[in-house]
A and B are shown apart, each in its own frame.
Chain A
Amino acid sequence: GQSLEQPSEVTAVEGAIVQINCTYQTSGFYGLSWYQQHDGGAPTFLSYNGLDGLEETGRFSSFLSRSDSYGYLLLQELQMKDSASYFCAVRPSNDYKLSFGAGTTVTVRA
């Protein structure tokens, strides 16, 4: 089966930097995706890492280390609108579905 671990909650102030770690154990692995979900809303794709290294998209960056089965999402210059749940997700090589972590609730305070 698949197992993903990420912290349940993170709180930070506006303008700060937050790093959300994700460790995984999967039977196969194509890459690590990150999704943002506001309360009651739909998961929205943020980034994807298929290879080791850092991917940068505006204020958000994501990193993957396949050898460590580890990745992280970096949120910079936090804004109030970044308050949401953030999910890491993997696709095992023998499945087509996404397996999500339990999600990290990020709360941004003024």
Chain B
Amino acid sequence: AAGVIQSPRHLIKEKRETATLKCYPIPRHDTVYWYQQGPGQDPQFLISFYEKMQSDKGSIPDRFSAQQFSDYHSELNMSSLELGDSALYFCASSQGLAGFQETQYFGPGTRLLVL
């Protein structure tokens, strides 16, 4: 079965640089979620989109922005990178709003290292 695809899988950036992470949800899934997971931490919700509109916002820094495109893929743009941004970034997708579909399917993650 098709799964959530994330690219790139690994990314190394310098401080103050920008990064763009991409997420391709499972076909026919219309909701995308972004999570950030630091070492030894639980995933922290950043932002979500339903039908290309932002549906919820969590602890996403103002330096980050995201959008969902007409083909339902999503991109997380990160600017002025800081050392503390080093983490695993997961994208998850579900069919319908999470209230009606509790199962979120996670992608393999993008490991970002900021030097």
- Chain A contacts to B: CB under 8 angstroms: 30-31, 33, 35, 40-45, 48, 50, 87, 91, 93, 95-103
Bound-complex Cα distance A33 to B103 (A): 8
Contact B106–A31 (Cβ < 8 Å):
no
- Which residues in B have their C-beta under 8 angstroms from that of A93? 99
At the interface, yes or no: B45 with Cβ under 8 Å from chain A? yes
Q: How many residues of B contact A (CB 8 A)?
A: 26
- Chain B contacts to A: CB under 8 angstroms: 31, 33, 41-45, 48, 50, 55-56, 58, 88, 90, 92, 97-99, 102-109
A-B pairs, 10 with minimum CB distance? A97-B45, A100-B42, A96-B56, A42-B106, A96-B98, A48-B102, A43-B106, A96-B55, A45-B103, A42-B108
Contact A30–B43 (Cβ < 8 Å):
no
Closest chain B residue, CB of each to CB of A43: B106
Closest chain A residue, CB of each to CB of B108: A42
Bound-complex Cα distance A68 to B12 (A): 45
20 further contact pairs, Cβ within 8 A, besides A43-B92, A48-B102, A96-B33:
A33-B102, A33-B103, A42-B109, A43-B90, A45-B103, A45-B104, A50-B102, A95-B56, A96-B31, A96-B97, A96-B98, A97-B48, A97-B58, A97-B98, A98-B45, A98-B104, A99-B45, A100-B42, A101-B42, A102-B42
Given A96-B55, A97-B56, A99-B45, A44 contacting B106 (CB threshold 8 A): yes
